Structure 1
């Protein structure tokens, strides 16, 4: 399985220690200042892309010297730096793309970046957003298995389509059977698994799976 990791320009305090993901990641891509973050974690990015307007000339030289490929784009462009990085990643035909540094900071950027998971879903690529408190991925109708995590104990389901029809949760503290939820529903927030694995299934809609935790000061495994 080919896995690619992209690091964006989100707040550094929300980006976990990236070294714990290095052993199973094939390619690292840094978007704008995200390329510098990759290097600061002791990893050489294969690609550094963006307008690099968030780093100074000295930092830009560090990125240029450590990245296998360094490509600059104008500040005024139709795509964000993250979208450019995603296009590069998708061109390499991966099965999974991990996204770091894409939450926190500006809310418009964070919401748009979460919606980019839909673009990946339609290309049959599993997109996973990870920060120090959350792990997010988008799902389509069908049956899905979810594993228990001591690091991210809370599990929430948030509809990204207007309605999600026939949601069933098995192996959860708060089970559901053939329930419909819609935008604004809080029915499926802060659930937990009662064993190591559980399942969720639904017939129609798009559902965001969020594993989360309260803020603490330790590193984040997968």
Structure 2
């Protein structure tokens, strides 16, 4: 199962998802204003979730009358709408979670969405989790060895510690290789690297790593 979560970030940051709408393996979740984006693209979310404080009363009535499953929460709650969406995503036993509409706009929302990724990565052992916008693909990775393929539209690759320490990080096939190096939160050592061949590998033994693929 693949889960696509579409949040309410600025639509100009969200890739065009129309090519994915016919994929029967995708479970779509709309978060608050993200449901408007999905419906505009002809995509019906399996679950619409949120407090819906960023949509009009008329829009909410449309969601409740036309969508298969609307989960409405009070505005005063401990969890953010995106956190609630990730809880629903985790119940689908996914192999991959892709989050859209989580960047741009309010910086506090973007940071909250980023740090939320620590929760499902602990709870969903076999799922890859990505935040995607038009310029970036961000993945959260557990210890292991991984293969990366060159992406023509995402030339730059950065490796950022998401825990206090990431141990024994090695990069093979990169412009700036690395061998069994410990890197610490706040380090800029592995920012803006590039693959020098079609494929490369990275590996590490302890910690959580953010892998960011970007273009200018």
Q: Same fold (TM over 0.5)?
A: yes
For Structure 1 versus Structure 2, the TM-score category normalised by the shorter chain is over 0.9
- Paired position in structure 1 for 2:186: 184
1:30-179, aligned counterparts within 5 Å?
30-122=30-122, 123-124=124-125, 125-179=127-181
The CA deviation at 1:65 is 4.1
SS in 1 for 2:28: strand
Cα shift readout 1:28-86 (whole Å, capped 9, x = no counterpart): 11011011111111101111111111011232233334422122111111111111111
The CA deviation at 1:11 is 1.4
The CA deviation at 1:23 is 4.2
Question: Normalized against structure 2, the TM-score is what?
Answer: 0.93
Report the Cα distance in structure 1 between the residues aligned to 2:166 and 2:89, rounded to whole angstroms: 30
Question: Normalized against structure 1, the TM-score is what?
Answer: 0.91
Cα shift readout 1:165-212 (whole Å, capped 9, x = no counterpart): 211100111111122211221111111111121100112221100001
Residue segments in structure 2 that go unaligned for 5+ positions in a row: none
Report the Cα distance in structure 1 between the residues aligned to 2:159 and 2:205, rounded to whole angstroms: 15
Report the Cα distance in structure 2 between the residues aligned to 1:66 and 1:204, rounded to whole angstroms: 46
Report the Cα distance in structure 2 between the residues aligned to 1:118 and 1:22, rounded to whole angstroms: 28
Aligned length: 213
Equivalent pair of 1:137/1:210 in contact (CA under 8 Å): yes
Report the Cα distance in structure 2 between the residues aligned to 1:79 and 1:118, rounded to whole angstroms: 14
- Paired position in structure 2 for 1:217: none
Check 1:209–1:15 CA distance in 2 against 1; reply closer, same or farther (3 A cut). same
